[in-house]
Amino acid sequence: MRWRARHLDGVRSPSGVRAQIGTAIHAGAAAFDQATLDGYPISIADASDVLVNTLDYPQEEVVWTADDPSKTQARAIALRLLSRYCELIAPTKRYIAVERRCDNLTIDVGNGIGIELTGTTDRIRETHQGPAISDLKSGLRRATVNGDVVSVRTDGPQLGVYELLAEQTTGLPITGPAEIIGMQTRANGGIGFQTVPRTREILIGTQESPGLLQMAGTMFKEGLFPPNPSSTLCSEKYCPVFGHCRYHN
Residues 84, 47 contacting (CB under 8 angstroms)? no
95 scored as a contact of ligand SF4 (CB under 6 A): no
**Residue from 50, 148, 53 nearest 99 by CA:** 50
**In angstroms, what is the minimal distance from the CB of 154 to ligand SF4?**
14
Q: Assess 6 for contact with ligand SF4 (CB under 6 A).
A: no
Residue span 151-170 as binding mask against ligand SF4, x where in contact by CB under 6 A, dash where not: --------------------
Identify which of residues 39 and 223 has a Cβ nearer to ligand SF4 in the complex.
Answer: 223
Stretch that binds ligand SF4, among 9-17, 19-27, 163-171, 230-238 (CB under 6 A): 230-238
CA-based nearest residue to 124, from 165, 185, 158? 165
Q: Give the Cα separation of 132 and 95 in Å (integer).
A: 9
229 binds ligand SF4 (CB under 6 A): yes
Using rule CB under 6 A, residue 219 touches ligand SF4: no
Contact 121, 133 (CB under 8 A): yes
Positions of E strands within 78-209: 95-101, 105-108, 114-117, 120-125, 132-139, 179-184, 191-195
Q: Contact positions toward ligand SF4, by CB under 6 A?
A: 1-2, 227-229, 231, 233-234, 239, 241-242, 245, 247-248
